[in-house]
Structures are given as structure tokens and as C-alpha cells.
Amino acid sequence: MKGIRLEKKGKRLELDLYGTVGAIWDDGINAAKVVALLRNAEDVTEIECRINSMGGNAFDGIAIMNALKDHPAEVTVKVDGLAASAASIIAMAGDTIEMGEGSFLMVHRASGFVYGQADDMLKTAEILKKADGEIIDVYARRSKKPVETVRGWVEAETWFTGQEAVDAGLADKAVADPESKNKAAEALAGHGAIFNFANLPESLRTLVEAHRAKGADTPPPETQEDDDMDLKDLTSAALAEARPDLVDEIKAAAKLESAEAVEAAIKAERERAGGIAAKAAELGSAVDVAKLINEGTDLQAAWQQMLVAKQEEMHQGAQASDLGHDSGDERKVNPFLPKEG
């Protein structure tokens, strides 16, 4: 299971967050969706939030953390396998935080990418420094440790086992769950960037490699029809009994279809389409802008595609300059070459 699963049982809400934090990912733990679901479950008195995620977008993580903290219910966070990076921020929302046996919690500095001139890069660096400060404050408030101690954890990219997280004040207890480490490996296995982590525990690295090898050798499961439910005869009452979690999601989505929400959606779509067009013009990218807009690509993902296309274009231009152009032409293709004289 990847993404968001929600199930309401009377006054108790179960919320599973499995996958990558942020709207740009296919298995995304989308902050807007989580916030909407929580707002439509304000009558519950208890929330159990289970996490297995390598992280993702820090700001989505902060938004989800604040939504959980602002909810009047008692929140219990259970780290089933891994709460890394942005997912560890979400975990800090728990009134009680439980670490499964063999699970990990990882904290590190914010990161990002930028394409542009030196000033653009300096501005991005300043934003990342501010983000680091906010993230450090979140961990410091929860752990009640000095800011400088927490800063050391973050700057070193620290991986806490369940008991280490408890000892550091970032969790309340470690509970027996022999599957936790396998769940952590599952959360990491689908992401090529995972081995870029500086301090990935060797035991977890081995499990991730084994999980990937197993996945490569395992054929996809055959699609089977669900014999438990005949869609032709399905009534709302039967659906509510069989899939109360799905009914809750449908109700939450329906409540969002107000005039105000529709107007906000229209505004967001204008900003998305206009932003993509503006970025393409600014970068001089050769990507198909209309296709990005029509396919619903969000601005961040579109920007990343434009950067890749631009880098490929520059690389091809540099190659062309090596195939017989004179030095004057070469400088036009590659602006980073020194000027003569």
C-alpha cells in the first residue's frame, strides 16, 4: 500500500501515510488531501497515524504536522518502518510517538535544486538555511534538547533506531514489531536516490538491496475480480459496510465541491498553467508546454522536466562544439569558456 489510507471507526480515525511526502510524486502523501480529510473528521477523539516513508517535500510535511497538531483529537503516531526527512517532521505531531522494533527515524538538513545565476543560487541557499532553522526548532521542542544538540543531529544526517529515538526524546516508546525493518526497506526500495544518504545504516542498505532484487524477480500480480462485491447490485449501504474508508473519502471530496472550493481550484489552475508558461519562457526550454499543461503536471514537476531538457540541450551543444567548430563558435555554444585576450 502506498499513499494515504483513512478509515473511521466511530470516534477513532486510522490514518496511514505510506509513500513519498509531496504532491509531485505518484504515491504522494498530499498535504492538501490530508488536511481536507482531517477537517471532515473533527468529531473523532482519537487518531492513530501510521507512517512508513522516506520523506519528500518538507513544506508538505510541515503542513501535515500542523494539521494533526491542531486537531482536537489525541494523536498517536506509530512509525511502522521508517520516518525519514519530511516524514520525521510529520511524526513530531504525535501526542504519543511509538517506534516499531527495527524501525528508523532520520533527520537531516533541507535540500533542493535551482537553475539560474549566482544570485538565484544564493537566494536558494538562504531559504534552505531558514528551513533548517525551522526544522531544528521542531525537533528541539519535541525532544526538549538544546538547539545546538539538535543542530548536530540534523547536520550529521542522523539515523535513530527505535530505542535511540526514545533516548533522544524524539519518541515515547519502542514496541515489538519484527516486520518494522522490512517495512523500512520497502519504503526505501523504490527510490533511486536512497543511496545518496550519507549515513544510511548498513543493515538497512542490505535489506533495501535484497528487496529490490526480490522485486525485480517477482512478476506483477494478476488482476483478479473482487468476488465479495457485485458492483451491479451495490447500494450505498453495502458500500458503507464494506468500505467505510472509501465512503469517508468520497464524503470529504464532496464537501470540497463548494463554490469557494471551485473558485479556488480555478485560480490554482490558472496559476499552474501561467507559471509553467512563464518558467518555460524564462528558461528558454524546448519542452512541450501545452502537453505539460494539458496533462496536469504541477509547477514543480514541470520545472524539473524543463531543467533536465535544458541540461540535455546544453550538453548536446557542447558536444557539437567539439566536432569541428572554431574557437569563436565554441564560445557561443559554451558561455563558460574564457574570453581571448
Helix (H) and strand (E) counts for the chain?
A: 14, 8
- Whether residues 287 and 198 share a domain: the answer is no
- Please tell me which of 146-160, 244-258, 259-273, 311-325 the model is most confident about, judged by mean pLDDT: 146-160
- Whether residues 166 and 281 share a domain: the answer is no
For 30-75, write each residue's pLDDT tens digit. 899 899 999 989 899 999 999 999 888 888 999 999 999 999 999 9
State the average pLDDT over residues 12-38: 85
Give the count of domains, the chain.
2
- DSSP states of 182-247: HHHHHHHHT-GGGGG-TT--HHHHHHHHHHHHHHHHSPPPPP---TT--GGG--HHHHHHH-HHHH
- Please tell me which of 80-84, 229-233, 251-255 the model is most confident about, judged by mean pLDDT: 80-84
- Whether residues 213 and 263 share a domain: the answer is no
131 lies in some domain: no
Residue with cell 487518531: 47
Question: Quick check: 198 pLDDT over 80?
Answer: no
Exposed / middle / buried, residue 193 (Cβ in 10 Å: 0-12, 13-18, 19+): exposed
- Whether residues 265 and 196 share a domain: the answer is no
For 27-40, write each residue's pLDDT tens digit. 678 899 899 999 98
147 lies in some domain: no
Report the distance separating Cα 220 and Cα 192, nearest Å: 20
- Whether residues 203 and 326 share a domain: the answer is no
- Whether residues 52 and 164 share a domain: the answer is yes
- Whether residues 73 and 14 share a domain: the answer is yes
74 lies in some domain: yes
Q: Answer yes or no: pTM beyond 0.85.
A: no
For 123-155, write each residue's pLDDT tens digit. 888 988 998 999 999 999 999 999 999 999 999
Host domain of residue 329: 259-333
> What pLDDT score does 34 carry?
92
Q: Is residue 56 a contact partner of residue 28, using CB atoms and an 8 Å limit? A: yes
State the average pLDDT over residues 167-183: 79
